[in-house]
Amino acid sequence: MEKYVIEGGVPLYGEVEIQSAKNAVLPLLAAAVLTEQRVVIHRCPRITDVLNMVQILAELGFSTNFVGEDLTIDGADAANHEIPAALAKELRSSVFMLGSVIARFGRARIAYPGGCDIGLRPIDLHLSGLRRLGVCIGEEGGYIDCVCSRLKGAEILLDCPSVGATENIMLAAVRAEGETVIRNAAREPEIVDLANFLNRMGAKVYGAGSQTVRIDGVSSLHGVEYTPISDRIEAGTFLIASAMCGGELVLNNADAENLTSLIHKLCEISCKIHADDGKIYIKSGDRVSPKLVETSPYPGFPTDLQAQMTALACICNGSTVVVENLFETRFKHVPELIRMGADITVRGRSAFIRGVPHLRGADVFAGDLRGGAALTLAAISAEGLSSVADLSHIDRGYSGFEFKLRALGARIRRVRI
Ligand code: UD1
């Protein structure tokens, strides 16, 4: 196991390069299954979620080659339809493979997916959507078995705008016969990126980014070279780091359009922010409390920035209520923040935070990816020495997190326990 050792209390200054979005890249890797031809993904981050997805592709018979940040996938010889349990349990995005593996091979077998332990995270909407497209699904012994000789377009209404279910259905529907309409679809920027990628492969996807996505099925898809959108959650993490630690940052390859709810909150608490030509500039301010932060599907406040925002609220002047509406148990970072001197009470899905002047260094444990990022920011802003373990969570989503933070002035190093 590895941990960060952090000596806190220094402001952050400088420029940071934002990676391509984890949540955009993962469904693109599933989309690569849909063609026999070569797919190249530029600026592909070397995070463990991506590396696990690449390993799943290899198990399916795809040849994969990572050179620098360019990932090449070649599916000419791919023939397997089974995703091994050990890999499926490593990450939730393995479930995206269902739609594309069925579309390519007519069948799929996968163990129930893993991922961050932040609540129940059912996949009923994925499965009912695929059933509507004509897939026969059996569930036994922790495995999902899917068979379908011919996918048929259908009208699908999602009970809630699930990101993963929208993507999974899109991945199957692009190769279905006829038209599919997904209503109450998720509107996240990563859905738009997936649609753009699929359309560049020859698919016909319309309306991505709105509540209704229409797909005209095509009989085959071809290869593509593509650069995914930048990671709004990584960018948001650095903006919050700046608000917590003080100083001035420039984020390169960042899209402020996709971060309006966070930027609005940070301006409310007196940060100075402006965006220009793929860059976001931030100068931290007096840290007035944001009062209320409530997560909701895009374009609302992202649940993936809730933990980091909770850490920031701990050192704001005044009280803040943070409401987590998407996932049931996404407050695992709270007891750890309390160990660092935060004043927080959790009741159900709400955290009531009374700001303190500063946090104190402590040895803390990350229970999930974004919680781990939040604790790292808390430690960098805190007075004294901290350690944050276990880094396997953080490595799932942030490439070179400590290198980027260190280049901005943070005193952080990785050590093996
Ligand atoms: C994706 C993101 C994750 C983010 C989340 C919400 C990826 C790889 N992950 O996860 O980082 O936190 O969106 O923005 O893109 N639900 C059901 N049934 C289903 C599916 C979902 O009830 O079949 C519920 C979930 O329990 C949750 C809500 O829908 O309450 C949103 O989940 P969803 O949008 O599906 O999240 P993920 O795709 O898993």
Closest residue by CA, ligand 1 atom 3: 304
166 CA → ligand 1 middle, Å: 10
Please tell me the distance between residue 286's alpha carbon and the centre of ligand 1 in angstroms. 34
Average pLDDT over residues 275-294: 95
121 CA to centre of ligand 1 in angstroms: 7
Q: What is the pLDDT of residue 115?
A: 54
Query: In the sheet where 2-7 sits, what is the strand order?
Result: 363-365, 385-389, 2-7, 411-416
Residue 191 alpha carbon to ligand 1 centre in Å: 13
The pLDDT score that the predictor gives to residue 96 is: 82
Give the residue whose CA is nearest to atom 29 of ligand 1. 162
For residue 303 and ligand 1, the question of a CB distance below 6 A is answered with yes
Q: Is 298 in the pocket of ligand 1 (CB under 6 A)?
A: no
- Tallying the residues shown for the chain, one arrives at 417
Task: For residues 306 and 200, give the distance between their C-alpha atoms in angstroms, rounded to a whole number.
Answer: 34
For the segment 177-191, the average pLDDT, to the nearest whole number, is 98
Query: DSSP state, 190?
Result: H
Residue 379: name the closest of 239, 250, 244, 283 by CA.
Answer: 244
Q: If you average pLDDT over residues 239-262, what whole number do you get?
A: 98
Q: Give the CATH number of domain 22-226.
A: 3.65.10.10
CA torsion, points 359, 356, 248, 384, in degrees to nearest 10?
A: -20
Reading the block at residue 367, the tokens are 């229970």
44 is catalytic: no
| CATH 3.65.10.10 domain span(s) along the chain | 2-18+230-416, 22-226
pLDDT at 149 (0 to 100): 87
Residue 398 CA to ligand 1 center (angstroms) comes to: 19
Check pocket membership of 301 for ligand 1, CB cut-off 6 A.
no
Is the model's pLDDT at 259 over the cut of 80? yes
Region of poorest pLDDT, from 93-102, 153-162, 346-355: 93-102
Dig out the tokens for 310 from the structure.
Answer: 């909770």
Question: Does the pLDDT value for residue 87 go beyond 90?
Answer: no
**Residue 267, CA atoms < 13 Å, CB-side half-sphere:** 12
Q: Which CATH number fits domain 2-18+230-416: 1.10.260.40, 1.10.10.10, 3.40.50.2300, 3.65.10.10?
A: 3.65.10.10
Determine whether the shortest distance from the Cβ of 83 to ligand 1 is under 6 A: no
Q: What is the pLDDT of residues 123-142, one digit of tens each?
A: 999 999 999 999 999 988 88
Nearest CA to ligand 1 atom 25: 121
pLDDT tens for each residue of 22-81: 999 999 999 999 999 999 999 999 999 999 999 999 999 999 999 999 999 999 999 999
